Amino acid sequence: MTGTYVIIKSHPGSGPAMEGKRLARSFGADLILIGAGVALAREEVLGGFCGTVYVADADLEGQGIGRDGLDKCVKVVSGEELRQMMSEGEVLDTF
């Protein structure tokens, strides 16, 4: 899967996470959430992001986040798919 991505690994309330969302919006990029950043996948936190948001199923489980309450633009993929996206696509930045 090729595309343009911004990776967010910071906690949703942090400045870097918000900056990552702004950058993705500005460039029409999709988001990849890893680590603490997966908490952004919840509907009440993502805040109407227009692109697609990718998160690995294992990261959701690792952060104790169920699939209920995920924003409608979130696609849960395998860790392997996520690694492939990051290696084949253009990553603008990591926050």
By the 8 A CB rule, do 57 and 3 touch?
Answer: no
- Chain segment 64-93, per-residue pLDDT in tens: 888 888 888 899 999 999 999 999 999 999
30: its two tokens: 């999709």
Average pLDDT over residues 11-18: 90
pTM for this predicted structure: 0.91
Looking at residue 94, what is its pLDDT? 95
pLDDT > 90? residue 7? yes
Q: Which domains does the chain have, with CATH numbers?
A: 4-94 (3.40.1260.10)
By the 8 A CB rule, do 33 and 59 touch?
Answer: yes
Looking at residue 69, what is its pLDDT? 80
Helix, strand, or coil (residue 13): coil
Looking at residue 26, what is its pLDDT? 92
Buried/exposed 20-41: b ≥16 CB within 10 Å, e otherwise: bbebbeeeebbbbbbebbbbbb
> Of all residues in the chain, what percent carry a pLDDT higher than 70?
99
Looking at residue 1, what is its pLDDT? 64
Looking at residue 85, what is its pLDDT? 93
State residue 10 phi and psi, 5-degree precision.
-90, 155
What number of other Cβ atoms are within 10 A of residue 64's Cβ?
8
Calculate the alpha carbon distances from 86 to 20, 64, 71 in Å. 16, 24, 22
